[in-house]
Structures are given as structure tokens and as C-alpha cells.
């Protein structure tokens, strides 16, 4: 017999929108989510949950236990906004914090998990413990590690953890998931080139780091094309190129910055090795010195197959099989949730925010972006259904 969870009431859907709009008006960046955490904690406490504050900085965990089972799951939402201004004239719930906005939809993610907490607190139709995890500082890949370093899973043990992210470009309310790597790692690199500055009219007296840097930028494009197995996805992107030169003087220093994306530790190590060899080799060939730095910012998000089966069944119960893609193409974006999946089993789901040209279709990290309120009930029901599925009431 197929289980179809009851649809939330119109009042409930309006509550989700009120929560989301308040959070959108009052965005805060990573580890500064003080008012956000207060707001979330206050509403979770009002639902009768046991609320714990200040985990990993500004993190919040609220726990709801029903029945006697020792099993537990985690449902996670991210809290932080981006340090960018909102460009949405006429939007009634636009950001009131200058230079800060929810351009990635974390306001919607919080509202969905709050909604799941309300559904489960009211219906109490499961047996076990649900930990609702509100994580700070997702955007820079620091919040998950901070919460775990503060004893997250020792204090609030979970058998599994689940999260989701809205995706503009996907039809609103549709969902997508896959086993294995679903989002990439992000590694950052800095290449500092030191040459010898000089007069622009006498280049033979100088060692021009700008020309050397240009050669490095082009050479780095061969790393993926000629060093990485074509069956293994990878991206190398140079995103900044700065020097200390002026119009009539060749620079002494040039700096190249950027990031790489991949899905496996082996590819990460290969990218770092080849990029270092190319950068140092080209600098040496020109008589310049090179300092190469490569840092791991985000772990890849690798879904556990057994948890994907659970998430797939829960999504089908909420939206129907025809609106679910259970083998979505991996995306090169990165998510701090990947750090959790290195420690405990779990799965991460995409939820469509709206196709291009429709409500919710503006890209993530765009100054005109907005979370699609029509998607809120879908996410709330999905998270609540996960709890019912993993913590079933047994006779």
C-alpha cells in the first residue's frame, strides 16, 4: 500500500511564507547569524522541542523525541546569507540589511525544516528522535566542521542525516537525487609569482611576471584536458589576476587565484600536483620564483546509496514518481553538507525552484534571486516524510 502524507493546510502554507519572508528581510553572513538563530530557536521552542544554542558558533539543534525507539535522524538547514546587495525593487520582503541578502535560498531551507518540525510536533506519527540541525557558515564551507568540532554528533547522535537545496532552472517542486557524488569538492589555489619590475620601455631589464602569469593561466587549461581521465569530472578555473604594475612600469609581483572542482580525493591530488608542477616549471623557465598554495575548502557531497533509496521513496510519496529524477547529472557546485556525509550516512536532495523565465528561475547568487514560496510545502512535507519513513511506528 502506497503511503501518501496528508497535504498541509492553507494556514500552514501561509506560516511557511511568513517565516521565510522574515528570514529574507533579516539576512546575516556566516557565523554572524545571531538574530537568525534567535528567530529559529524561538519558534522551535514554541513547538515544544528541546532547543540547544551556540553549537559551532551560532548553530542551533532542536530535538523531538516520540515513543521509545533509540533510532534517530538529522534534518539539516543552512542559515547564512551572502555579502551582496539585493536588487529587487518593489519586493516587499527585500533585505533590510544593506550589503547582505539571501541569494542562495537558505531562508527557504530554514522555513522548510521549521515546517517539518511543526508537522512532526503536531502529528507525532513516528517513533524515535529527530534532530533539526540549523547550520551556520555554509557558504564558505566552515560551519559543518565547526559544529562537528563542537561535538554535534556526540551530543546529538544520528543514524542518518538528510539535507536539500533549491535549484533554479529545475521545474518548481520537482526533485532530483543520485547515489554517489552529487556535488563537487571545491579547492582554492593561489599562485604568487615574483619577477623583477622595470621600465615598460626596457623590458629586457625586467622579468615580467604578467607575461609569465598569462602563460601559466593558459597552461593550466591542459590539466583537465590532458592529465585527468576523461571519465572523471574536473574543472580548473582561474578567477583573479592581479599585479603591482602601473601603466609605464612592469610589475614585480603577479598573483593568480581560482578554484578547482572534482569528486574524488585522487583527482584532487592530481590537480594539485600538476598545477604546482606547471606553475613552478614555467616560473623557473623564465627566471622568476613561484609560491603555490592549494587548500581544500569543501568536501565532495557523496550520497550513501541506502539513504538515497530512503530519500527517493520519501520524495515519491510527496510529489509522485513522475516529478522525481533519481539519477540526476552531478553538479559542479559545492555544499558544506558533504562534510557531514564523510562522518555519518545520509543523502542530499535537489528541489526545483522554477525554470528560467518563471518564478524562482533567477540563478543562485544573483542579486535579483528569490526563493520560490510555492516550493516551501513540498520541502516541509519531504523532510517530515523522511522522519516517518526512517522512524516508523511499529506494533
106 annotated to bind ligand: yes
165 annotated to bind ligand: yes
104 annotated to bind ligand: yes
Active site residue 138: yes
How far is Cα 240 from Cα 233, in angstroms, rounded to an integer?
Answer: 23
How far is Cα 8 from Cα 114, in angstroms, rounded to an integer?
Answer: 13
> CA separation (Å) from 282 to 272, 275, 294?
16, 11, 17
131 annotated to bind ligand: no
CA atoms 29, 31, 35, 40: torsion sign: positive
238 annotated to bind ligand: no
Active site residue 11: no
Instruction: Let me know: does 369 contact 362? Beta carbons within 8 Å.
Output: yes
Catalytic residue among 28, 33, 86, 138: 138
Give the helix, strand, coil percentages of the chain, each rounded to 5: 35, 25, 35
* Buried b or exposed e, range 84-117, using 16+ CB within 10 angstroms: bebebeeeebebeeeebbbbbbbbbbbbbbbbbb
Instruction: Let me know: does 385 contact 312? Beta carbons within 8 Å.
Output: no
Angle (CA) 81-83-85 rounded to 5° is 100
Length of the chain: 395
How far is Cα 374 from Cα 8, in angstroms, rounded to an integer?
Answer: 13
Pair type for strands 301-303 and 180-183: antiparallel
Catalytic residue among 28, 33, 78, 80: 80
3-class DSSP state of 390: helix
- The three cell numbers of residue 130 are 529527530
- The three cell numbers of residue 222 are 591542459
Dihedral pair phi/psi, residue 43, rounded to 5°: -75, -35
**Residues labelled as active-site residues:** 80, 138
Binding residues for Mn(2+): 104, 106, 139, 165, 365
Amino acid at each position: 500500500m502506497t503511503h501518501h502524507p496528508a497535504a498541509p493546510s492553507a494556514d500552514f502554507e501561509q506560516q511557511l511564507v511568513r517565516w521565510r519572508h522574515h528570514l529574507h528581510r533579516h539576512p546575516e553572513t556566516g557565523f554572524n547569524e545571531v538574530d537568525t538563530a534567535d528567530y529559529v530557536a524561538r519558534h522551535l521552542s514554541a513547538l515544544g522541542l528541546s532547543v540547544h544554542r551556540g553549537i559551532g558558533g551560532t548553530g542551533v539543534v532542536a530535538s523531538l523525541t516520540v515513543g521509545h525507539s533509540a533510532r534517530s535522524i538529522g534534518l539539516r538547514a543552512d542559515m547564512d546569507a551572502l555579502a551582496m546587495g539585493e536588487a529587487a525593487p518593489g519586493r516587499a520582503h527585500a533585505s533590510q540589511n544593506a550589503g547582505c541578502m539571501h541569494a542562495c535560498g537558505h531562508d527557504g531551507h530554514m522555513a522548510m525544516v521549521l515546517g517539518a518540525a511543526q508537522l512532526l510536533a503536531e502529528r507525532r506519527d513516528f517513533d524515535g528522535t529527530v534532530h533539526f540541525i540549523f547550520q551556520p557558515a555554509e557558504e564558505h564551507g566552515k560551519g559543518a566542521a565547526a559544529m562537528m568540532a563542537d561535538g554535534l554528533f556526540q551530543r546529538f547522535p544520528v543514524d542518518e542525516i538528510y539535507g536539500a537545496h533549491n535549484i533554479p532552472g529545475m521545474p518548481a517542486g520537482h526533485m532530483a537525487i543520485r547515489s554517489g557524488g552529487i556535488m563537487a569538492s571545491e579547492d582554492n589555489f593561489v599562485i604568487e609569482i615574483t619577477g623583477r619590475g622595470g621600465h615598460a620601455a626596457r623590458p629586457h631589464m625586467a622579468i615580467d611576471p604578467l607575461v609569465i602569469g598569462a602563460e601559466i593561466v593558459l597552461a593550466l587549461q591542459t590539466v583537465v584536458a590532458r592529465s585527468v581521465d576523461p571519465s572523471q569530472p574536473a574543472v580548473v578555473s582561474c578567477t583573479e589576476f592581479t599585479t603591482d604594475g602601473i601603466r609605464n612600469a612592469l610589475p614585480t609581483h603577479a598573483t593568480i587565484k581560482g578554484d578547482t572542482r572534482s569528486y574524488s580525493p585522487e583527482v584532487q591530488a592530481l590537480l594539485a600536483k600538476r598545477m604546482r608542477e606547471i606553475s613552478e616549471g614555467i616560473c623557473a623557465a623564465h627566471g622568476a620564483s613561484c609560491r603555490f598554495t592549494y587548500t581544500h575548502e569543501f568536501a565532495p557531497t557523496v550520497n550513501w546509496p541506502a539513504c538515497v533509496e530512503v530519500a527517493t521513496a520519501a520524495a515519491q510519496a510527496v510529489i509522485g514518481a513522475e516529478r522525481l529524477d533519481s539519477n540526476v547529472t552531478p553538479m559542479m557546485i559545492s555544499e558544506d553538507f558533504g562534510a557531514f556525509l564523510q562522518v555519518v550516512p545520509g543523502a542530499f536532495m535537489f528541489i526545483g525552484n522554477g525554470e528560467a523565465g518563471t518564478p524562482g528561475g533567477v540563478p543562485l547568487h544573483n542579486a535579483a534571486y528569490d526563493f520560490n514560496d510555492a516550493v516551501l510545502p513540498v520541502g516541509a512535507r519531504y523532510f517530515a516524510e523522511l522522519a516517518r519513513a526512517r522512524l516508523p511506528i511499529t506494533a
